[in-house]
C-alpha cells in the first residue's frame, strides 16, 4: 500500500503547519409528528487533513508532486500517518487487548501533567516483567524514522530500568535510572525495517524483577525522529489507513529559488466491506504449549493480528490438539474475536495439525494463519492430503512456528499453497513476527 512520503532529506515527517477536522457518519430520520431516529455508522470519526507545506525545496516539491500524480488526484488510496498523533492504541488503559502484559496492572496515580492518568504496574515475580504493544504500518514504511517515549517513575525502589523496540530481526534496548521522587521521560529512536512493524515496550532485558512497582504515563510512538508532545489515544491515533486526496489539482507556489509552498487536502474514508474474504486463525493448544507456558504469548500474537489486519477481513478462531474446536465463527466483530481469544485456557495433549488444515480448507477460508510449536501427532490425514485440500479450495497457509515446531512440514505446506512460514526465536517475539504475516495477506 502506498504511504504518504516523508519530507526533508533526513526523512522528517513534519507536515507542519497542518489542521485536522473530524466528522461522524450518522443517519437521521425525522418522522411526523416528531419522532426522530439516528444511527451512527462508526465508533470513531473520520478525519480531514489540510497540510500547508511552507518553504519546500525543489526536491521535496517534486517528491510530493510525483506522489500526487501516482495517486491520480482523488483516485488513489494511500496510508497517512499524522505526525502529530500517537501510533499506540489505548495509551492510558493497559487492560485493553492492544497491550501485552506480563506484569500486574494496578491503580491510577498522579501523572506528571498534574492529572491522575498514570498507572501503577507491578512485576509479576518472573524476574523479567514487561508491558508491550505491537504496531504494524506497512512495508512501505521501511526506512521511516519513529520515536518511542514514555514517562516512568519508581514506586518501591529506585534503580536501573529498560525500554525496548523490536521487529523480530532487530532489537534495541534503552536503559535508564528511575527515581522515586521525580518522573523521567525515556526516549528511544527507531527506524522501521522491511516489515513496517515494531513492538515497543517497557521492562524486559531482565530489568524488571520481583514485584517491583513503577508508575507509567504517556506511552507515545510518533512518526518523527525525536520525541513528540504526548497525545492520548483513543482520540489522537496517528494511523489512517484509508485516505485519498480531496483535490484533483496540484498547485505549487514559488517563493524564490528552491522555495515553494504547497497546500494539500487529505480525506479519510470508510472502506467498503466485502462480501467474501475470510481468514482462519488457528492456535496450537497441545500439551507442549502447556509445558512451555506459551498460551499467553499465542493469545497476545492473535490479539495483535486481529487488531492490525485490515478491518474488511472476516476472522474466525479455531484451536487444535487432539480435537479441533471452533471458538469463534467468521466475523467482522473484532471485539467478539478478542473475547474468544482471551477466554482460551487449559491446553491438553495431541497435535492433529493435518486434520486441522483439511477441516479449515472446507470452511471457505481465503487463508489460514497458524501458530504452533510442534509437529503433527495423531492426524488421520497426511501432509499431502492437507496440501491437496488447500490447493483444491484455493487456500493459502501462513504459519508462525516457535519452540520445537516442525519447520520442514510447515515450510512444505506454506510453500505449496502460496503462503509463507516464519519462525519466532523466542516467545516474546511471536507478537512482532505475526505482524509480518499481516503485511503479506
Where are the chain's structural domains? Answer: 18-84+238-268, 100-222, 278-438
Pairwise CA distance, residues 427 & 301, whole Å: 10
Residue closest to 433 by CA, chosen among 181, 92, 195, 101: 195
The predicted-structure confidence for 422-439, as pLDDT tens digits, reads as follows 988 777 778 777 888 887
Phi, psi of 49 (to 5 degrees): -110, 140
- Mean of pLDDT values over 74-84: 89
Residue 11 scores a pLDDT above 70: no
The reported pLDDT for the residue numbered 413 is 95
Strand partners, 267: 48, 244
Phi, psi of 417 (to 5 degrees): -110, 5
Pairwise CA distance, residues 415 & 318, whole Å: 22
The winner for highest mean pLDDT among 68-72, 139-143, 237-241, 254-258 is: 68-72
Cα dihedral across residues 429, 430, 432, 434: positive or negative: positive
396-401: strand order across its sheet: 324-331, 314-320, 278-284, 367-372, 396-401, 420-423
The reported pLDDT for the residue numbered 270 is 72
The reported pLDDT for the residue numbered 309 is 87
| Whether 424 contacts 400, CB under 8 Å | yes
Homologous superfamily of the 100-222 domain (CATH): Galactose-binding domain-like (2.60.120.260)
Find all residues with CB under 8 Å of 264, minimum gap 6, and list them: 49, 50, 51, 53, 64, 68, 245, 247
Residue 39: pLDDT band by 50, 70, 90 thresholds?
very low
Residue 55: pLDDT band by 50, 70, 90 thresholds?
confident
C-alpha gyration radius of the chain: 24
The bridge status of strand 367-372 relative to strand 396-401 is parallel
Mean pLDDT, the chain, whole residue set: 86
Residue 209 scores a pLDDT above 90: no
- Mean of pLDDT values over 168-177: 91
SS3 content of the chain, % helix, strand, coil (to 5): 20, 40, 40
Residue 41 scores a pLDDT above 60: no
Pairwise CA distance, residues 92 & 108, whole Å: 10
* pTM, rounded to two decimals: 0.63
Quick one: 205 exposed, middle or buried, by C-beta within 10 A (0-12, 13-18, 19+)? middle
- Least confident range from 40-49, 127-136, 215-224, 377-386: namely 40-49
Instruction: For the domain made up of 278-438, give the CATH fold.
Output: Rossmann fold (3.40.50)
The predicted-structure confidence for 318-375, as pLDDT tens digits, reads as follows 999 988 889 998 888 899 999 999 999 877 778 899 999 999 998 888 999 999 988 8
Residue 187 scores a pLDDT above 90: yes
Residue 276 scores a pLDDT above 80: no
- Within 13 Å of residue 164, how many CA atoms lie on the same side as its CB? 27
Residue 40 scores a pLDDT above 60: no
Residue 31 scores a pLDDT above 80: no
The predicted-structure confidence for 90-135, as pLDDT tens digits, reads as follows 999 999 878 888 899 999 999 999 999 999 999 988 888 999 988 8
Residues in the chain: 441
Phi, psi of 324 (to 5 degrees): -115, 120
The reported pLDDT for the residue numbered 10 is 42
**Cβ–Cβ contacts within 10 Å for residue 302, how many?**
27
The reported pLDDT for the residue numbered 24 is 60
The reported pLDDT for the residue numbered 175 is 94
383 versus 346: the higher-pLDDT residue is: 383
Residue 70: pLDDT band by 50, 70, 90 thresholds?
very high
Q: What percent of the chain has pLDDT over 90?
A: 44
| Whether 129 contacts 161, CB under 8 Å | no
Phi, psi of 308 (to 5 degrees): -85, -30
Amino acid at each position: 500500500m502506498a504511504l504518504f512520503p516523508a519530507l526533508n532529506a533526513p526523512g522528517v515527517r513534519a507536515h507542519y503547519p497542518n489542521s485536522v477536522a473530524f466528522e461522524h457518519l450518522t443517519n437521521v430520520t425525522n418522522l411526523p409528528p416528531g419522532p426522530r431516529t439516528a444511527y451512527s455508522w462508526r465508533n470513531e470519526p473520520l478525519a480531514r487533513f489540510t497540510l500547508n507545506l511552507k518553504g519546500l525545496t525543489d526536491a521535496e516539491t517534486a517528491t510530493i508532486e510525483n506522489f500526487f500524480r501516482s495517486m491520480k488526484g482523488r483516485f488513489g488510496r494511500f496510508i497517512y500517518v499524522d505526525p502529530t498523533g500517537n501510533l499506540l492504541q489505548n495509551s492510558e488503559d493497559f487492560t485493553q487487548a492492544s497491550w501485552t502484559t506480563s506484569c500486574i496492572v494496578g491503580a491510577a496515580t498522579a501523572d506528571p501533567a498534574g492529572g491522575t492518568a498514570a498507572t501503577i504496574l507491578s512485576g509479576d515475580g518472573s524476574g523479567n516483567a514487561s508491558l508491550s504493544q505491537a504496531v504494524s504500518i506497512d512495508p512501505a514504511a521501511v526506512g521511516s524514522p519513529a520515536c518511542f517515549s514514555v514517562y516512568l517513575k519508581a514506586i518501591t525502589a529506585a534503580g536501573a530500568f529498560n525500554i525496548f523496540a523490536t521487529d523480530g530481526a532487530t532489537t534495541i534496548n534503552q536503559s535508564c535510572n528511575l527515581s522515586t521522587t521525580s518522573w523521567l521521560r525515556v526516549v528511544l529512536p527507531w527506524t522501521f525495517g522491511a516489515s513496517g512493524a515494531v513492538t515497543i515496550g517497557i521492562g524486559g532485558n531482565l530489568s524488571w524483577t520481583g514485584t517491583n512497582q513503577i508508575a507509567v504515563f504517556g506511552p507515545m510512538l510518533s512518526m518523527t525522529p525525536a520525541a513528540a508532545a504526548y497525545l492520548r489515544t483513543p482520540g489522537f491515533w496517528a494511523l489512517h489507513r484509508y485516505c485519498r486526496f480531496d483535490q484533483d489539482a496540484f498547485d505549487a507556489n514559488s517563493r524564490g529559488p528552491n522555495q515553494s509552498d504547497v497546500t494539500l487536502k487529505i480525506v479519510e474514508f470508510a472502506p467498503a466491506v466485502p462480501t467474501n474474504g475470510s481468514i482462519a486463525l488457528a492456535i496450537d493448544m497441545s500439551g507442549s504449549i502447556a509445558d512451555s507456558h506459551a498460551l499467553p504469548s499465542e493469545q497476545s500474537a492473535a490479539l495483535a493480528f486481529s487488531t492490525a489486519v485490515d478491518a474488511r477481513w472476516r476472522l474466525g478462531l479455531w484451536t487444535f490438539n487432539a480435537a479441533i474446536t471452533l471458538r469463534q465463527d467468521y466475523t467482522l466483530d473484532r471485539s467478539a474475536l478478542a473475547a474468544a481469544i482471551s477466554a482460551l485456557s487449559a491446553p491438553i495433549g495431541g497435535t492433529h495439525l493435518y486434520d486441522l488444515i483439511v477441516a479449515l480448507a472446507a470452511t471457505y477460508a481465503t487463508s489460514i494463519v497458524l501458530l504452533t510449536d510442534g509437529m503433527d501427532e495423531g492426524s488421520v490425514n497426511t501432509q499431502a492430503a492437507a496440501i491437496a485440500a488447500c490447493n483444491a479450495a484455493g487456500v493459502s497457509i501462513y504459519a508462525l512456528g516457535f519452540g520445537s515446531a516442525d519447520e520442514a512440514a510447515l515450510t512444505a505446506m506454506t510453500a505449496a499453497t502460496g503462503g509463507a512460514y516464519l519462525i519466532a526465536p523466542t516467545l516474546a517475539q511471536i507478537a512482532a513476527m505475526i505482524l509480518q504475516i499481516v503485511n503479506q495477506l
